[in-house]
A and B are shown apart, each in its own frame.
Chain A
């Protein structure tokens, strides 16, 4: 009789019944595991772990109660996924490990699977359907957690790239009216834009007369890079300052001549120090050693 009654119930109802009879054990197991994972690293307090465990069980029951079958588009399903997204975000912000978090989700799934094993009233078909249901729900959750993790990583990488962009082209006022701009790495369109914006603003702010652009750290030059350099030099000129290009290594010089790039209108010097001497000469500044000054 019991078997017949159970066979008429939907998979969702069967799972709810199972959970209800052993809710205390399930909740206790999840909390215990949560404490061993998140409590040791001080990622979550005991209260937070308990709250998260209870909230998860509540949302899961709500999802199962929403219909005979789990609907991925239902608000209950979205709420459960949102819960895990927020949970994983919090763990990440506090320096937690994604792998451990995924293991925790697997453990939650295992708790339900263990319950199935102990329930002898379920037939093969019912057990199979519950297994499929659990796999589907928990796979979605794990995928969401991965999406959140990747999005967070992406944001971090972008922030680091922005920071690198600023620190890799430090504009320094090396003398009154003389700015130096060492360029390291490659000069693509987006970097050129950012460097040009910063440089032109500095020319105006520092009332610079000369800008020494040093390309010693530029590994390779192609027509696009040289085009960007020429644009930068023209922009400096439009602001009323003089640009000096320094640090053109032999390979770069060879590449420039092979590409038929005309740099005749650009003042070039072999090294940064030569460029600085040229800048001082333009400003009629003479730098003498201290002993020469005494004589």
Chain B
């Protein structure tokens, strides 16, 4: 497992990296995380980043902007980004505020995210 500021990164095989955000993550400061994270993912030869939302009860506009920024960095780096373990209430609230389709894929859990084509 690799520790970066505000997150844990765990390689789970086949170039798939599991990202678990910690309480220290400040989505209002994306610049503090994006460059080190992109560098680490390249070093790990990542082809898919699985972002675990298990401990994220609310996705507000700030958090959504952070996820969008992260998805853009991943796309430029040739990495798929998949969100997993979104809670029904979070999905519900987010769907009501979204104006476009999200720039990332979603899966019910880590296993399904691993098996996405």
Contacts and interface: CB of A to CB of B under 8 A. Distances in A.
Interface in B70-117: 83-84, 86-92, 94-96, 98, 101-102, 106-109, 112-113
B108 A239 contact: yes
Contacts of B98: 234
Contact of A240 (B89, B90, B107): B107
A1 interface: no
A241 B91 CA distance: 12
A238 B108 contact: no
B102 to A, nearest CB: 7
Contact of B88 (A203, A209, A237): A203
A239 B101 contact: no
Contacts of A179: none
A240 B108 contact: yes
Nearest to A202: B88
A231 B96 contact: yes
Given A231-B95, A234-B95, A235-B95, A200 B88 contact: yes
A232 interface: yes
Interface in A200-216: 200-201, 203-204, 207, 209
A61 interface: no
Nearest to A235: B95
B86 A239 contact: yes
Given A200-B91, A203-B88, A238 B96 contact: no
Interface string A223-234: 000000001101
Contacts of A238: 83, 86, 90-91, 94-95, 102, 106
A269 to B, nearest CB: 20
Nearest to A189: B96
A197 interface: yes
Interface in A53-83: none
Nearest to A199: B88
Nearest to B108: A240
A292 interface: no
B86 A241 contact: no
A196 B101 contact: no
A265 interface: yes
Contacts of B101: 234, 237, 265
Given A238-B86, A265-B101, 4 more contacts: A200-B88, A200-B91, A204-B87, A231-B95
24 contacts: A196-B95, A197-B88, A200-B89, A200-B92, A203-B88, A203-B108, A204-B87, A204-B88, A207-B108, A209-B112, A234-B101, A235-B94, A235-B95, A237-B102, A238-B83, A238-B102, A238-B106, A239-B108, A240-B83, A240-B84, A240-B107, A240-B108, A240-B113, A241-B108
